[in-house]
Amino acid sequence: MNLFDVYPLYEVTPNKAKDVFVFDENQNKYLDLYGGHAVISIGHGNKHYVKSIVDQINKIGFYSNAIKNPLQNKLAIKLANASNCNNYSLFMCSSGAEANENAIKLASFYNNKSRIISFKNAFHGRTSAAVAVTDNPNIVAPINSQQKVTFLPFNEIDKVEIELKKNDVSSVIFESIQGVGGLDQPNEEFINNLSKLCTEYNVCLIADEVQSGFGRSGDFFGFQKFKIEPDIITLAKGMGNGFPVGGVLINRKIKAKYGMLGTTYGGNHLACAATLSVLHQIKENKLMENAKIVGDYFINEAKKIDKIKNVKGRGLMLGLEFDFEVAELRKKLIYEHKIFTGGSSNKKLIRILPPLTIKKEHIDIFFKALKIELKKNK
């Protein structure tokens, strides 16, 4: 049997990883500035993380959500304390797309409306409603396009209010820092006004923190820069440091009832152990503070390079924009300098999403390699 060929692959086969480095089958050492799509938060092979999962699987790895799992309750308390999001309940699932599906469904349950507002260049997943609110027609099948979705630009609040006044909008979903879309951010005035309008028109505001959450932005959640309280928050990726886990934080004004949401694997014992370890390591090793410090250092170093036309993002969710397409440059960085970076729907942008344990010395390695390649392309 062949694999269903949907992923263009680089000719690299990792078989080992440690902190911010990945090793291939030939023992070549790669600096990981992409973290497997912002998944690796506390570093590859973190000892506390590995021990937590091994200890848990030696007890019990999985049983259904038909029984009590005290680890879920422990995680909910720890997550509230770490994020300072105390007015929420936690529903656990297994991925970011699944989290967004449940968020959109919850909003519709809550206000009995169905249209969704999303934003230009948004990415929220590849399934059902999640892909319908993703601004990429190439990955939206006819069955997905039946969803009622309106795409609007960031920072034009008048256009949002025109749509909300029609009284059929159930939810507005946004990324505080766009990921796949290319690191664009809404401004604070826009988000604050958006939050107020959603309250006024009985619309649920969904903050998609799948990529920007768990400390990557320098705050626990990227939206916390804006001092708002979304109705629903979605999370995944860095939440599990590689273990498949997702979650939805649901404002307590939205009431639960049996059967309205469900999942087979969400919140299993191993997922809880992985996430509890991530939370412990973020606090223990001051990784949010590190994201701010190293992120600022990266931005300052990037601004010294003339060929970089724009530096986007914050914390350790960053992008470098050039006046040329970067596919070949990224290949050079991988094959000649052994550095992983990321791409985006903006073909002129390199994404930087390293483990939150990264240090300034690793950033220096990257910029040394980048300067060599940019010099070749004079």
* pLDDT value at 378 more than 70: no
Structural domains of the chain in order of their starting residue, each with its CATH number? 14-46+286-376 (3.90.1150.10), 47-284 (3.40.640.10)
- Which pLDDT score is estimated for 170? 98
* Residue-level pLDDT at 227: 85
DSSP string of 22-56, one letter each residue: EEETT--EEEESSHHHHT-SS-BT-HHHHHHHHHH
Do β-strands 169-174 and 115-119 pair in parallel, antiparallel, or remain unpaired? Answer: parallel
**247-262 pLDDT, tens digit each:** 999 999 999 999 999 9
Q: pLDDT digit string (tens) for 4-36? A: 999 989 999 999 999 999 999 999 999 999 999
Which residue in 258, 305, 226, 277 sits closest to 53, CA to CA?
Answer: 277
Parallel, antiparallel, or unpaired for β 246-251 and 232-235? antiparallel
pLDDT at 377 over 80: no
Is 90 exceeded by the pLDDT of residue 376?
A: no
Phi, psi (rounded to 5 degrees) for 29: -110, 125
* Residue 264: how many other CB atoms lie within 10 Å: 10
CA distances to 124, 172, 292, 357 from 210, rounded to whole Å, are: 8, 16, 19, 19
Instruction: Return d(Cα 125, Cα 1) in angstroms, integer.
Output: 27
Query: 203-250, pLDDT tens digit by residue?
Result: 999 999 999 999 999 999 999 999 899 999 999 999 999 999 999 999
Q: Which two tokens stand for residue 12?
A: 């690299």
279-294 tens-digit pLDDT: 999 999 999 999 999 9
Does the pLDDT value for residue 188 go beyond 80?
yes
> What one-letter code names the amino acid at 314?
R
| Cα(20)–Cα(98) distance, integer angstroms | 28
Q: What confidence score (pLDDT) does residue 338 get?
A: 98
Q: Are 212 and 174 in contact (CB under 8 A)?
A: no
Across 126-148, average pLDDT: 95
> Could you tell me the pTM of the whole model?
0.96
Instruction: Taking residues 317-337, report their average pLDDT.
Output: 96
